[in-house]
Amino acid sequence: MDWQGIRAEVLRRIEARDYPPGGSIPNEADLAAEFGCARATVNRALRELARAGRIERRRKAGTRVPLAPVRQAVLSIPIIRHDIAARGLAPGYRLISAALGRPDAATRAALEAGAGPAAAHLWHVVGLHTGDGAPFVLEDRWINPEAVPDLGPESFAAISANEWLVAHAGFSAGRIAFGAVSATPATARLLGCAPAAPLLRLTRTTRSGPRPVTLVRLSYAPGHEIATGF
C-alpha cells in the first residue's frame, strides 16, 4: 500500500472512532507490518495527517488523535471578477488612477518602505469593481515595485491590479484583517452610498519571501456579505 492509501485508511479509522479522540494510534513499526510496507511510507502518511491537524505526533509520547482537531487553513488570493460572477452578476471594472506615489505611514510600515526616497516610488492603483453595473467593491492598492519589477502603468489597462498580481506575482505569506469603516465622501461617491455609511473593509498584505509585495484595502458596497465554509 502506498502512503496515500495508508493516510486514507488511518483517516477512515479516526472518523469511524476506531481511533477515538484522545486515543493513541499504533506505532510506525506496527502499522508498517499491518500494511506490508516500509516504515518510511507510514511516516509520510502520518506526517501528512499531522500537517492537516488530524493527529498529534510527539517524541516519546507517541501519536494520538487530538481531542479537538485543528483544520489547516489554506490561503488563496481570490480574483474579484470571479467572485462577482459567482454571485450571478456581470462583472465590470473601471481603473480610476494608477501612479507612483508616497503612501501614508501605516502603508509604508506594512510594505517596509521606510521614510527615505524609495517610499515615494510605490505604485498606487485605485479601481472600482462592479456587478451588473452597480458598485461592488473599491480596490485601493499599494504595490512595491521592487517585488514586481515587470510592473508598469500599462499593466492595468485591461485587467485589475488584483487579477494582474494573481497572474504575475507569487506570494508566500500574508495577513488579512476585516473591519467596519465609515465611507469617506470620495468613497461614498464611487460606491453610490451616503457619506459616513458603514462599509465592510478587508485589508490584506502579501509577501513573496522576504519582500512585501502589496497592501490592498477593499471597501465593499453597503450590504455586502462574506461567507465561508470549514
- d(CA 197, CA 222) in angstroms, rounded, equals 8
pTM for the model stands at 0.68
CA distances, 175 to each of 80, 89, 102, 139, 203 (Å):
18, 28, 22, 17, 8
Higher pLDDT, 194 or 105: 194
> What pLDDT digit, counting tens, does each position of 100-124 carry?
888 888 888 888 876 444 555 789 9
pLDDT at residue 221 greater than cutoff 90 = yes
* Stretch (H or E) spanning 106: helix 105-110
Domains of the chain: 3-64 (1.10.10.10), 80-220 (3.40.1410.10)
Coil, helix or strand at residue 111: coil
Phi first, then psi: give them for residue 12, nearest 5 degrees: -60, -40
148 pLDDT higher than 70: yes
DSSP H helices in 17-70:
28-35, 39-51
Q: Report the DSSP beta bridge partners of residue 56.
A: 64
User: Exposed (0-12), middle (13-18) or buried (19+): which is 44, by Cβ within 10 Å?
Assistant: middle
Q: What is the pLDDT of residues 62-84, one digit of tens each?
A: 899 988 765 555 556 789 999 99
